[in-house]
Amino acid sequence: MANRPEAAYQRLGRTLRDAILRGGYAGGVRLPTEAELAAEHGVSRQTVRRAFHDLVAEGLVQRVPGRGTFAAPRHGQYLRQFGSVEDLLALSLDTQLRLVDPLRRQVDVEAASRLRLDADAVHRVRFRRLHHDVPFCLTTVYLPPDVGDRLAALPQLTEAGAVSDVTVIGLIDEHTAKPIAEAEQSITAVAATTAVAEHLGCAPGDPLLRVDRTYLTTDGTPVELAISHFLPEHYSYRVRLRRGPR
């Protein structure tokens, strides 16, 4: 079945989201008005209003009656509500990445399919994440070839045993043209395999939390598939759910 075409408000929302994430409206700069955006992009004011509604729901903008629409402060509560991407970028603040398998190119049909690639080649890297020197997660990351090529010279991902405070999504943000804007996520309970248990210091068959995340840029392009296995005794997952407008 063919994918449904992207609606006009979604295209406009992606354009504005890209500009906001790149700091285009930082420092109290007002976004264009509904009328200005409608004229610039050749859409109706209703389309602009719908795009603004989605950005408000994501916590990216705030609308001030009588003044206009402004980007939400990056250090305030609004952006912390923007899904889990900002929280995941903040992993570098108090955890470390310890490289297990350096970044390399390989054929992986399943990963390539999940990244929506035309060919079967991907780049793969595996690492443990530690908090106060205690490993709590083993992550395998798959990248499209063009993204992998951009990161191939970074010692944090290519030198076995390297320890750093980076996140892969943070590196992608720094070295690719478009920033990561959203993540598709699934969570399942699984039993530890022998290989995973060896890296996490648990016994084969122990219960683990598996989290699969596909990260997408502002234009909807997948740039990373991350499959993580967490030790439940060292990790908890919390999310705030809000009821939408009625």
Q: Are 52 and 91 in contact (CB under 8 A)?
A: no
Q: Give dist(CA 131, CA 223) in Å, integer.
A: 26
129-156: burial string, b at 16+ Cβ within 10 Å, e else:
bbeeeebbbbbbbbbbbebbebbbebeb
Segments of the chain with pLDDT less than 50: 1-3, 75-84
Q: Give dist(CA 74, CA 51) in Å, integer.
A: 20
Q: What pLDDT score was predicted for residue 82?
A: 35
| Residue type, position 46, single letter | Q
Q: What pLDDT score was predicted for residue 1?
A: 38
Provide φ and ψ at 189, rounded to 5°.
Answer: -95, 130
Element (H, E) at 225: strand 222-230
Q: What pLDDT score was predicted for residue 19?
A: 85
**How many residues does this entry show for the chain?**
246
* DSSP code at position 237: -
Q: What pLDDT score was predicted for residue 2?
A: 43
**Mind listing the pLDDT tens digit for each residue in 72-123?**
875 433 333 334 465 566 565 568 999 999 999 999 999 999 999 999 999 9
Where would I find the beta strands (DSSP E) of 108-157?
121-131, 134-143
Q: What pLDDT score was predicted for residue 123?
A: 98
68: left (phi over 0), alpha (psi -120 to 50) or beta: left
Q: What pLDDT score was predicted for residue 78?
A: 30
Q: What pLDDT score was predicted for residue 241?
A: 63
Q: What are 237's two structure tokens?
A: 């997952």
User: What's the longest Cα–Cα distance across the chain?
Assistant: 62
* DSSP code at position 31: P
Q: Is 61 helix (H, G, I), strand (E, B) or coil?
A: strand
| Domains delineated in the chain | 8-81 (1.10.10.10), 86-234 (3.40.1410.10)
Q: What are 218's two structure tokens?
A: 């502002």
Give pTM, 2 decimals.
0.69
Q: What pLDDT score was predicted for residue 87?
A: 58
